[in-house]
């Protein structure tokens, strides 16, 4: 494993400095008097919980927001970054967590759209090929974005930045959609950029990767800078505790039940791709047993959404497949019927799918419990019961709110996710099916959610967890299966699998994964 580069701050002028930078939104202080420096060739981490102020800070660096007070300096000179175009012209590039690519266009067309009008190139395709070879980022200029994997799409985003020759590259959660092998390839590119003098500001919740890649970190909490340190001097636990301001308790995988009692079974599930951008499911078989957590790993875009729709009944066209709960056939049942049978769901997208941002928490609690006789009787909703239900969820799952019954949109991402998870777990379902349970939430909220799922399984429920986070998969799953291009591998005990093997399966290299497993024995 390559060691992080040391910070190049001895006798050098910082590439970028923030001096007492503050930003507020109404009464909410997002950044308060932040001082920050990054040096040429430095690999620097920006850490913090959701709502700590990371996004606000990097949006100011990239010109998307303007500070209320304080200022930035570029190579010792005061600058004002009024918009992203000015930031890019200064030498600042940014790869966002959520890609901004047109799926129907080619790689070259997407890259050209992001380049400045004055950019001159007689043959952009040739330049893309040259840069791709130079940095070890395989890309074909004529490929259509819709045909690319998520890892390949990220390469397109990176290439857009590289063609602008940035002096500072900001990367927001870049590895959340990558296999372990793709992550290593990305880190090799970032180290090479650093060797050439480019500074990299790296944002991630994956603290093992922070220690692997970076040499220095700035930690924000509650909008304030609380620490600046050398990452090699701290453990991942110490970094996490600095982020949340309290001690972190590790979640340990419990032993699976001694007796395997199948509870939720799927056999022969096939689902066609309903649009050019969907993935067909091919002969899916899975079994989740009582008291067991089945982890389904995979890179985004390999059929996770389609599988979730089929398991929850949002897509329901029974043919030859079978979906059973404790022997009861559910393949023709829609979401409501499956909920009545004892299956609860937590979809990946919390805003708009799991919760309605413009509704308050009591109304959001009602969305999946309106069949409860105490809540709705004779077609009349009991306001008191919905308020009590929301309060019970918030209290039990430590949902931090600005008021007793705020709009869902008023909660941070982590707190809204805890509310959505709590709303389903508090029902003590026979089966919980959850997609990306800790996507985009901070380490404290992630630990809380994983602990809640573990305790639910200990009480006898079956949990099916679809997740891109391998750390999460290994932390709490009893068995692991991998979804790739609509195919689901056979589930195996988590203790028998390695990150390398899962990464190969995620990338579609099943034969290579089998060889790696045999070699490890």
For 130-176, the pLDDT digits (tens) are 888 888 778 889 999 888 876 778 888 888 888 888 999 999 888 87
Nearest to 347 by CA among 262, 242, 417: 417
Assess whether pLDDT exceeds 80 at residue 4. Answer: no
Residue 108 lies in a domain: yes
Residue 276's φ and ψ, nearest 5 degrees, are -60, -20
Residues in the chain: 521
Bridge partners, residue 220, by sequence: 225
Q: Same structural domain for residues 24 and 113?
A: yes
Residue 435 lies in a domain: yes
Percent of the chain with pLDDT over 70: 92
Q: Same structural domain for residues 232 and 271?
A: no
Name which of 30-34, 56-60, 247-251, 467-471 the model is least confident about.
Answer: 247-251
How do residues 39-66 score in pLDDT, each as one tens digit?
A: 999 999 999 987 788 989 999 999 999 9
Give the residue-averaged pLDDT of 119-140.
Answer: 82
How do residues 64-114 score in pLDDT, each as one tens digit?
A: 999 999 999 999 999 999 999 899 999 999 988 767 888 899 999 998 887
Residues 356, 343: contact at Cβ < 8 Å? no
For the chain, what is the largest distance between any 2 Cα atoms, rounded to a whole number of angstroms?
A: 76
Q: Same structural domain for residues 301 and 438?
A: yes
Name which of 63-67, 367-371, 515-519 the model is least confident about.
Answer: 515-519
Strand 92-95 versus strand 168-172 pairing type: parallel
Assess whether pLDDT exceeds 90 at residue 11. Answer: no
Residue 413 vs residue 262, higher pLDDT: 262
**DSSP 8-state secondary structure symbol assigned to residue 379:** T
Residues 371, 340: contact at Cβ < 8 Å? yes
Q: Same structural domain for residues 335 and 195?
A: no
Give the residue-averaged pLDDT of 168-193.
Answer: 85
87 CB-side CA count, 13 A: 22
Give the residue-averaged pLDDT of 445-471.
Answer: 92
**CA-CA distance, 226 to 339, in Å (whole number)?**
45
**DSSP 8-state secondary structure symbol assigned to residue 351:** B
How far are the Cα atoms of 60, 127, 204, 405 from residue 65, in angstroms, in the given order?
5, 32, 21, 30
**CA-CA distance, 506 to 503, in Å (whole number)?**
5
The whole-number pLDDT of residue 1 equals 46
CATH number at residue 497: 3.40.50.300
The whole-number pLDDT of residue 157 equals 87
Q: Which residues contact 113 (CB under 8 A, 6 or more apart)?
A: 102, 105
Name which of 398-402, 415-419, 509-513 the model is least confident about.
Answer: 509-513
Residue 394 lies in a domain: no
The whole-number pLDDT of residue 413 equals 78
For the chain, give the mean pLDDT: 88
Residue 255 lies in a domain: no
- Only one residue has tokens 């990097």, namely 58
**CA-CA distance, 457 to 428, in Å (whole number)?**
10
Per the structure, how many domains does the chain have? Answer: 2
Q: Same structural domain for residues 195 and 154?
A: yes
For 186, the domain range is 16-244
The whole-number pLDDT of residue 313 equals 93
**CA-CA distance, 216 to 231, in Å (whole number)?**
5
The whole-number pLDDT of residue 167 equals 96
Q: What is the 3-state secondary structure (H, E, C) of 193-251?
A: HHHCCCEEEEECCCHHHHHHHCCEEEEEECCEEEEEEEHHHCCHHHHHHHHHCCCCCCC
Assess whether pLDDT exceeds 60 at residue 305. Answer: yes
Percent of the chain with pLDDT over 90: 54
The whole-number pLDDT of residue 318 equals 65
Residue 379 lies in a domain: no
Residue 400 lies in a domain: no
Assess whether pLDDT exceeds 50 at residue 503. Answer: yes
Assess whether pLDDT exceeds 80 at residue 122. Answer: no
The whole-number pLDDT of residue 513 equals 56
CA dihedral 485, 492, 437, 459 (to 10 degrees): 150
Assess whether pLDDT exceeds 70 at residue 518. Answer: no
DSSP three-state, residue 485? coil
> What is the pLDDT confidence band of residue 491, given thresholds at 50, 70 and 90?
very high
Residue 105: CB atoms within 10 Å: 15
Q: Is 23 left (phi over 0), alpha (psi -120 to 50) or beta?
A: beta
Q: Same structural domain for residues 227 and 266?
A: no
Give the residue-averaged pLDDT of 289-301.
Answer: 91
DSSP three-state, residue 488? strand
Residue 347's φ and ψ, nearest 5 degrees, are -75, 165
The whole-number pLDDT of residue 10 equals 46
- Domain C-terminal end among 209, 244, 279: 244
Residue 10 lies in a domain: no
- Only one residue has tokens 């940014």, namely 94
Q: Same structural domain for residues 86 and 159?
A: yes
């Amino acid at each position: 494993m390559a060691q992080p580069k040391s910070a190049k701050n001895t006798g050098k002028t910082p590439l970028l400095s923030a001096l007492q930078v503050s930003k507020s939104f109404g009464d909410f202080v997002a950044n308060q008097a932040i001082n920050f420096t990054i040096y040429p060739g430095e690999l620097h981490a920006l850490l913090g919980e959701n709502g700590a102020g990371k996004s606000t800070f990097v949006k100011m660096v990239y010109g998307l927001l303007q500070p209320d007070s304080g200022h930035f300096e570029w190579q010792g000179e005061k600058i004002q970054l009024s918009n992203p175009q000015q930031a890019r012209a200064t030498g600042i590039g940014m790869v966002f967590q959520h890609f901004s690519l047109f799926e129907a266009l080619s790689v070259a067309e997407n890259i050209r759209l992001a380049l400045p009008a004055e950019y001159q190139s007689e043959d952009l395709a040739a330049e893309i090929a040259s840069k791709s070879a130079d940095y070890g980022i395989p890309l074909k200029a004529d490929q259509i974005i819709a045909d690319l994997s998520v890892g390949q799409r990220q390469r397109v985003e990176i290439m857009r930045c590289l063609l602008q020759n940035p002096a500072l590259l900001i990367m927001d959660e870049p590895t959340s959609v990558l296999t372990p092998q793709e992550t290593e390839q990305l880190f090799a590119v970032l180290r090479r950029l650093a060797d050439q003098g480019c500074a990299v500001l790296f944002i991630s919740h994956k603290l093992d990767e922070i220690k692997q890649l970076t040499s220095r970190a700035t930690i924000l909490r509650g909008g304030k800078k609380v620490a600046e340190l050398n990452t090699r001097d701290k453990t991942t636990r110490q970094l996490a505790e600095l982020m949340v301001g309290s001690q972190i308790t590790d979640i340990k995988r419990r032993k699976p039940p001694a007796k395997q009692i199948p509870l939720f079974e799927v056999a022969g599930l096939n689902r066609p791709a309903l649009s050019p951008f969907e993935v067909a499911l091919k002969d899916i078989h899975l079994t989740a047993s009582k008291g067991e957590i089945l982890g389904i790993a995979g890179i985004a875009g390999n059929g996770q959404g389609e599988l979730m729709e089929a398991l929850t009944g949002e897509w329901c066209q029974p043919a030859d497949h079978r979906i059973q709960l404790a022997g009861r056939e559910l393949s023709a049942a829609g979401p409501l019927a499956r909920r009545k049978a004892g299956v609860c769901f937590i979809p990946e997208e919390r805003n708009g799918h799991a919760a309605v941002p413009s509704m308050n928490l009591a109304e959001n609690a009602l969305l999946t419990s309106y069949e409860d006789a105490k809540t709705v009787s004779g077609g009349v909703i009991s306001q008191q019961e919905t308020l009590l239900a929301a309060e019970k969820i918030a209290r039990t799952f430590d949902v931090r709110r600005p008021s007793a019954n705020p709009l869902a949109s008023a909660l941070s991402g982590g707190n809204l996710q805890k509310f959505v998870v709590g709303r389903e777990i508090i029902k003590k379902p026979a089966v919980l099916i959850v997609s990306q349970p800790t996507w985009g939430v901070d380490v404290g909220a992630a630990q809380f959610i994983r602990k809640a799922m573990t305790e639910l399984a200990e009480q006898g429920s079956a949990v099916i967890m679809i997740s891109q986070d391998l750390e999460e998969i290994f932390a709490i799953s009893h068995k692991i299966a991998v979804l790739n291009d609509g195919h689901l591998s056979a589930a195996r005990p988590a203790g028998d699998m390695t990150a390398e093997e899962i990464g190969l399966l995620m990338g579609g290299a099943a034969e290579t994964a089998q060889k790696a497993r045999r070699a490890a024995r």
